[in-house]
Amino acid sequence: MDKILTISEIEKQFRSEWILLENPKTNEALEVQGGKVVFHSKDRDEVYSMAATKYPKRFARLYTGKISKDAAILI
């Protein structure tokens, strides 16, 4: 996929999936606003592995689903 998508377009097209964006578009606070989807999967580990093997210069990983209130998030 070569098209630059907004966050809204990504969330609609890839529901409850992990997304790998190459050269993400960010605002002044570095919040991801969109980008080029280079990989997506329901499996988080697949997306993390793809990021490690492709070595994009600048990338972001996103999750488009709901995260449980009980979930622990590590950055």
Residue 72, pLDDT score: 74
Residue pair 38/14 in contact by the 8 Å Cβ criterion: no
Residue 38, pLDDT score: 94
Residue 70, pLDDT score: 85
Distances from the Cα of 38 to the Cαs of 13, 23, 53, in angstroms?
14, 10, 12
Q: Where are the domains of the chain?
A: 4-63
d(CA 23, CA 37): 9
Q: What is the pLDDT of residues 32-57, one digit of tens each?
A: 999 999 999 999 999 999 988 876 68
State the average pLDDT over residues 2-31: 95
- Token pair, residue 53, equals 């093997």
- Token pair, residue 18, equals 């992990």
Q: Which of 18-27, 30-39, 60-69 has the lowest mean pLDDT?
A: 60-69
Residue 27, pLDDT score: 96
